[in-house]
Amino acid sequence: MRKKELFKTVLDYFQQTMSDTETELDYGTTFQLLVAVVLSAQCTDKRVNLITPKLFEDYPTAETMALATPKVIFEYIKSVSYPNNKAKHLVGLAQMLVEKFNGQVPSTLEELTLLPGVGRKTANVVQAVAFGKAALAVDTHVFRVSHRLALVPPTCTTPYSVEMALKRYIPENKVAAAHYWLLLHGRYVCKARRPLCDKCGINHLCHSKDRLFTAPQ
């Protein structure tokens, strides 16, 4: 099967079996989305959604969070992974937003990645969800599914190389949706351990049913 045909088959399947999707993180504003995505690194969305209501109630904006200390923020987020670092990042990014961006979350990759704790993956999620851009964040689920379905070659060993390879064949107007289709397929069906192959309508395309792929950290 040619690469274009493979991508069309996979994307058509996802579009037919999944609704238009968005992040499973709960948020009310772009700033809160950014905070939630930072907190979700190496942590489940479910866990993040348990702690953000109180955090957002007390610190709903960049301006309010910029006045807090990492020690105070830590108490709100201590049940997530790496809470010490994330508390420092959240206060730091809030302060930079106030000082450099008038309290508003910027929309470009270059500006977003200036913020403490914001890497390319986080920036791509914010660009796609908040600003509707054709950005594709590669997390461990997207990385794994892309390899198992041979959407990307084995030489793609980094999240960035997978991102670039996927965007070569995904139509621009489907890039943001494709990220969530691949992510949710990996999260709930094509799991790292014990994938639910019997529930996958495209398992005949899987090139690596007996191998596990995980994205390098």
Residues 6+ apart with CB under 8 A from 101: 111
Instruction: Determine whether 8 is an active site residue.
Output: no
Instruction: Determine whether 139 is an active site residue.
Output: yes
Exactly one of 78, 139, 167, 199 is catalytic; name it.
139
Q: How far apart are the C-alpha atoms of 120 and 166, rounded to whole Å?
A: 15
Exactly one of 3, 86, 88, 121 is catalytic; name it.
121
CB-based contact 9:41 (threshold 8 Å): no
The encoded tokens of residue 163 equal 């991102």
Q: What angle do CA 153, 176, 87 make, to 5 degrees?
A: 95
Q: Render 168-181 in DSSP notation, one character per residue.
A: TTS-GGGHHHHHHH
Q: Which residues are catalytic?
A: 121, 139
